Amino acid sequence: MLLFAGLFFTISCSSDDDNPENETDTSGSFTAKVDGGTFVGADSKATLTSDYMVILSEGQDGRLLTVTASLFSGVGTYEIIKVDGIDLGSAFYQSGMGSVWVAPMSENVQEGVLNVSKYSGGKISGTFSFTGTNPVDGTTKLISEGKFEDINSYVLQ
C-alpha cells in the first residue's frame, strides 16, 4: 500500500520537462459510477513505463480515481488482482472527505477489470470496474461503468 501511495504521489506531482505544454493539457473524458452516483474527471492523465500504466483522474469536487496495470503491453484486458502478494492490477478511489477504497485487498481474488481498447498516438481509451474496500473500516464501494476516452498518455524514460 505504501508503494502505491508513493507511486501515486510521484506521478501526480511529476512533470514532463521535454513538453511543458503538457502541464496545461486537459485531455479526453473520464467517467464512472461510484455506488450509483456519478464521477466525472476534470483532470485526467495516463503515465506509462516500459511495463506499467497508471491512469489518474481528479474530479472538480476533489475526488480521485486511479487504475493501474502491471505488465502493461497495450490494448488488452488486465485483471485487478493480487497474486503472491503482488498487485498485477490495482485501483484506488478517494472521496472528497479523504476516505479511500482500494482493490485488490484479498489474495488471488479478482476484484475488478481494466480493458484498454485503444493505445496509440499518445492517447489511451478503455473501460474499468472494481469493488474497492476501505482498509480502515472494511466498507466497500462499487465502481462501475468506468470509461476513459482519448486520455493523454506520457511515457516516463
What confidence tier does 96 reach under pLDDT thresholds 50, 70, 90? confident
Residue 116's DSSP bridge partners are 76, 126
Give 142 or 24, the one with higher predicted confidence: 142
> What are the structural domain ranges in the chain?
30-155
Considering the entire predicted model, what is its pTM? Answer: 0.83
Residues 78-82 have a mean pLDDT of: 96
Residue 59's DSSP bridge partners are 41
Amino acid at 108: N
pLDDT in tens, 11-25: 444 434 333 344 445
Dihedral (CA of 79, 85, 87, 88) sign: negative
What confidence tier does 53 reach under pLDDT thresholds 50, 70, 90? very high
pLDDT given at position 76 = 97
Residues 71-92 have a mean pLDDT of: 95
* Mean pLDDT of all residues belonging to the chain: 86
